[in-house]
Amino acid sequence: MRRMFALVCFALGCSGGIEGPAPSLTAAANRLLPGASPAIVCNAQGDPSGGWLVDLTGDGFSPLPLDTVSGAEGLQMPSVALAGPESYALPDARVLFIDRTQLPLAMPTANTAPDAKALQAGSYDVTVTNPDGMQASLTAALTIVPPPAVSGLVVLDSNGQPTGNRLCNNRAQTVVVFGSAFRTGSATSASFVPASGATIAMPASAVSVKSALVINVSVPAGTLASMATPAGADVGVRVNDPDGCVAPWPGGSTAATVRVVTTCP
């Protein structure tokens, strides 16, 4: 059939289009969470330039060199489109290429410039289309999650009694963080951010996501010695989702601070 077309084309004088490889798509993974399938991406926040990198794996990804004879050499990348709660075609500049089996996407976020994009949360199908028009799709390849938000906190003493927001460095205490969109079952982490000085990150073993609304952070005695003052110093609490989103976003105001004092009687 192809030969017949070529023969007819030859006789009539026409263009036969372009023929190239057909892609296949087997998986998508967020580089921040390579083991999660489908890929989980929080794109309401992110790197201001690169966004979040999501690797598409498969075969037959085929960028097309352009204008190789006319002199204005260029490159057409495979196009990538998302379909779910909304449809979105990634800008060409955000489709990268490693080899015919790996196609990284620099997923834009609400923070990236100049093509900021905050997708609605939900499950998305991913479609890759080579420049020759051949395409492959992967259903529910990507899950967009909303960023966490912190609305308040309370410090519990060793007996489980609330003590307001005072955190005594000489005692083991628990900080209960309230908010939304916390990721249960994930490696969520937390850190204490002073007004000046170094941030202290709590180990994953000290953080327990009780629900999408509550996180418990265990603070052993002496952990915040560098921040503590006799009169107490206000220190912010930051929640870090493993997919890259944090609450509050660096530079943003925080609704949750603890007053860290050196010693409590």
Partner 1 sequence: MSAIRTFAAVALLAATPAVAQTDECDCKPNRACVPCPPAKKPKPRVDPAEQEEPAGPPVALPDRPEASSRRRQQSALLFAVKTGLFQPTSRLGGALYVGAELAYVPPVFRQALAAVLELDWVRPQTGGALGDPRLVGGGSYEMSDQQVGVLLSAMYRAQDLFVPGLTPYAGLGPGLYFHRASVTAFGSTNVETATKLGFQLAAGSDYRLGPGAVFAEVRYHFARVDFRTTGDANVGGFMAMGLGYRLKMF
Under the binding rule (CB under 8 A), the answer on residue 21 touching partner 1 is yes
CB 154 within 8 A of CB 177: no
Using CB under 8 A, count the residues that bind partner 1: 43
Residues 117-156 touching partner 1, rule: CB under 8 A, are 131-132
Under the binding rule (CB under 8 A), the answer on residue 91 touching partner 1 is no
Residue holding tokens 């890929």? 39
Under the binding rule (CB under 8 A), the answer on residue 173 touching partner 1 is no
Under the binding rule (CB under 8 A), the answer on residue 231 touching partner 1 is no
Under the binding rule (CB under 8 A), the answer on residue 107 touching partner 1 is no
Residues 34-63 touching partner 1, rule: CB under 8 A, are 60-63
Residue 8 phi/psi, 5-degree rounding, is -65, -40
Under the binding rule (CB under 8 A), the answer on residue 73 touching partner 1 is yes
Residue 4 structure tokens: 């017949």
Under the binding rule (CB under 8 A), the answer on residue 242 touching partner 1 is no
- For the chain, the C-alpha Rg in angstroms (whole number) is 25
Three-state DSSP class for 118?
coil
For partner 1, which residue of 1, 3, 70, 230 counts as binding (CB under 8 A)? Answer: 70
CA distance 248 to 100: 39
CA distance 143 to 121: 7
Under the binding rule (CB under 8 A), the answer on residue 195 touching partner 1 is no
Under the binding rule (CB under 8 A), the answer on residue 221 touching partner 1 is no
Residue 7 structure tokens: 């023969």
Residues in the chain: 265
Residue number with CB closer to partner 1 (66 or 225): 66
| Chain contacts with partner 1 (rule: CB under 8 A) | 6, 9-21, 60-77, 92-93, 95-100, 104, 131-132
